[in-house]
Amino acid sequence: MFNNNTDNKPKIIIANWKMNPDSFGETDNLIKIIKKGIKKSDNLKVIICPPAVYLSKIKANSGFDLGIQNIFWEDRGAFTGEISAIIAKNLKIKYTIIGHSERRKYLNETDEMVNLKMQSALKNKLSPILCIGETLEEKKKDVTSGVITNQLKKAFKGISNIKYSISNICIAYEPVWAIGTSKTPSIDEIMSVNLLIKKTISNLYDRETAEKISILYGGSVDSKNAFDFVDKTGMDGLLIGGASLNGSEFARIVNLFE
Ligand code: PEP
């Protein structure tokens, strides 16, 4: 059986700001509110993923670890509008979200593209935050386990050496029907997906790898439900969309884990 006691791993709280805020002034203000609201904690990692154009300006004065919301899979070249893992890395960005369901839905991002982005991120020592999760239709058909297993197998296909960055890889379980809807899975459902992810990673690699990767929950998290989604499920942290755009609410969530 897998160890569901993750107390020795730092908890990870990630803010995914998506295509917000509208200006750097508002971004700066949001960062200041979050910074002011967060009490220090040694065993906690807070990662902010703003729109890419704000990354370098935030970097200079925030003190937070930063993630980019997307990368392209090639290192450089004629790919208008795209940003490579190398560009992000050279901006001292540590993390990249890969395979968010909004990109899968609106930009037709496939499992194959997700796999190429995983390879590029790992090759360039950028830590992936891989998003997986079932749609409402898939949940209704009771095929969640198959969907999760398949997404994981395809995302990690052909990636043999993840050893150097295992402890920085995050897998975020984000049921598509829970994103921005105020609907959430039960504690038991989240717990069983957590174990399924560990089992699948263990089968693909080994048990040590499965224990070291951080597994997060995302989908309609707020300061009322956040603690239980981690404390009662064995999850290592949270990926937060809507609530991360309210600086004091986001700080309240972070402070639950100090
Ligand atoms: C997300 O988009 O990653 C997310 C979790 O959004 P929300 O918290 O708004 O449901």
Per domain, the residue ranges of the chain are 107-208+230-245
Compute the 3-state secondary structure of the chain and give helix, strand, coil in percent, each to the nearest 5. Answer: 45, 15, 40
Q: Which residue's CA is the nearest one to ligand 1's atom 6? A: 241
Q: Whose CA is nearest to atom 8 of ligand 1?
A: 241
Q: How many whole angstroms from 135 Cα to the centroid of ligand 1?
A: 14
Residue carrying structure tokens 């940003």? 83
Percentage of the chain beyond pLDDT 90 is: 88
Q: How confident is the model at residue 164 (pLDDT cuts 50, 70, 90)?
A: low
User: Looking at the domain 107-208+230-245, which fold is it?
Assistant: TIM Barrel (3.20.20)
Q: Whose CA is nearest to atom 2 of ligand 1?
A: 241
What is the Å distance from ligand 1's center to 77 Cα?
A: 32
Say what the pLDDT of residue 40 is.
77
Report pLDDT digits (tens) over 7-16: 578 999 999 9
CB 101 within 8 A of CB 131: yes
Catalytic hit among 74, 100, 102, 211? 100
Which of 171, 239, 246 has most ligand 1 atoms within 8 Å of its beta carbon, as the pocket-test mutant?
239
| Rounded percentage of the chain residues whose pLDDT exceeds 70 | 95
Query: To test the ligand 1 pocket, which listed residue (13, 20, 96, 179) has its Cβ within 8 A of the most ligand atoms?
Result: 179
**Residues 18-67: tens digit of each pLDDT:** 999 999 999 999 999 999 999 977 789 999 999 999 999 997 778 899 99
Q: What pLDDT does 161 receive?
A: 65
What integer pLDDT is reported at residue 131 of this predicted model? 98
Q: Let me know if 100 is a catalytic residue.
A: yes
Q: Region 201-212: what's the mean pLDDT?
A: 93
Closest atom of ligand 1 to CA, residue 240 = 8
pLDDT at 183 over 60: yes
Please say if the pLDDT value at position 4 is more than 60.
Answer: no
Closest ligand 1 atom to 102 CA: 2
Q: Which residue has the tokens 């990630």?
A: 14
d(CA 27, CA 20): 8
Half-sphere exposure of 104 (CA within 13 A, CB side): 21
Cα–Cα distance, 34 to 55 (Å, whole number): 16
Cis ω for the linkage preceding 175 (within 30 of 0): no
Is the predicted pLDDT of residue 6 greater than 70, yes or no?
Answer: no
| C-alpha pair distances (Å), 257 with each of 7, 23, 38, 220, 230 | 11, 30, 10, 18, 9
Read off the pLDDT of each residue in 93-116 and give the average, rounded to a whole number: 97
Ligand 1 pocket, residues with Cβ under 6 angstroms: 16, 174, 179-180, 218-221, 239-243
In the chain, where do the E strands start and end?
11-16, 44-49, 65-68, 95-98, 127-132, 170-173, 214-218, 237-240
Q: SS3 for 214?
A: strand
216 pLDDT tier (thresholds 50, 70, 90): very high
Query: Among this protein's residues, is 189 annotated catalytic?
Result: no
The pLDDT score that the predictor gives to residue 63 is 81
Q: What is the pLDDT of residue 7?
A: 55
Handedness of CA 130, 75, 111, 243 (dihedral sign): positive
Q: Which residues contact 119 (CB under 8 A, 6 or more apart)?
A: 73, 158, 159
**Site of tokens 């508002």:** 26
Residues 7 and 236 sit within 8 Å (Cβ to Cβ): no
